[in-house]
């Protein structure tokens, strides 16, 4: 059995979608949800779905004990779902090629530190882009620089607001993120 830990910072709609996708899966399950904000709604979503959840601090996250605990708890893969902190080297070393993130744009455009959520969509609209989308990628030491597992696109039409673009991008996230995670895990065969 492959065990996923989801790291999230906010609402957790992607986390909930992933949890539901793997509820009856024969070889992959979401074992826990970890949040870096005590008021993150993802914690309530996890509780409603009977998934263990906890909050951690920056000091805990940057300590190698964080990785060691995940390993002791049987975690095999880490999924970042709306998680905003840079992943420390110890976690990358403990889970090489076993950490995945989703970014709400077609990387390398609109990526890097500080580029998340509405900031990305506002930038896409302001630049007059005709296309945007999502990038699901492995995590390395730099923001949004890991190997791409999947990119999916949607159109940006004249008059689209950042909110309209966000809705299109969320649809892509919900459609592609769980299935890409499944394919990635099954194909990595830790």
Identify the pLDDT of residue 189: 64
CA distances from 123 to 52, 107, 114 (A): 36, 13, 12
Pairing of the two strands 28-35 and 2-8: parallel
Identify the pLDDT of residue 190: 47
**Among the listed residues 71, 27, 18, 22, the one whose alpha carbon sits nearest the alpha carbon of residue 189:** 27
- Per-10-residue mean pLDDT for the chain, 190 residues long? 97 97 97 98 98 98 98 98 95 97 97 92 98 98 94 97 98 98 85
**Among the listed residues 136, 144, 149, the one whose alpha carbon sits nearest the alpha carbon of residue 177:** 136
For 176, other C-beta atoms within 10 Å of its C-beta total 18
DSSP class of residue 10 equals S
Active site residues: 103
Q: Which residue has the tokens 């005709």?
A: 130
Domains of the chain: 2-188 (3.40.50.170)
């Amino acid at each position: 059995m492959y065990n996923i830990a989801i790291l999230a910072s906010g609402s957790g709609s992607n986390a909930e979608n992933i949890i539901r996708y793997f509820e009856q899966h024969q070889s992959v399950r979401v074992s826990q949800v970890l949040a870096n904000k005590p008021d993150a709604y993802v914690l309530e979503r996890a509780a409603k779905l009977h998934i263990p959840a906890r909050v951690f601090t920056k000091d805990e996250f940057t300590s190698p004990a964080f990785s060691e605990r995940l390993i002791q708890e049987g975690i095999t893969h880490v999924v970042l779902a709306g998680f905003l902190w840079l992943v420390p080297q110890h976690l990358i070393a403990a889970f090489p090629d076993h950490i995945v993130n989703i970014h709400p744009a077609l990387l390398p455009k609109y990526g890097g530190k500080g580029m998340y959520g509405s900031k990305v969509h506002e930038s896409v609209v302001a630049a007059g882009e005709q296309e945007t989308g999502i990038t699901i990628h492995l995590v390395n030491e730099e923001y949004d620089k890991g190997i791409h597992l999947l990119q999916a696109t949607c159109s940006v039409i004249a008059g689209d607001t950042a909110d309209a673009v966000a809705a299109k991008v969320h649809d892509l996230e919900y459609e592609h993120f769980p299935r890409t995670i499944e394919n990635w895990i099954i194909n990595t065969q830790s």
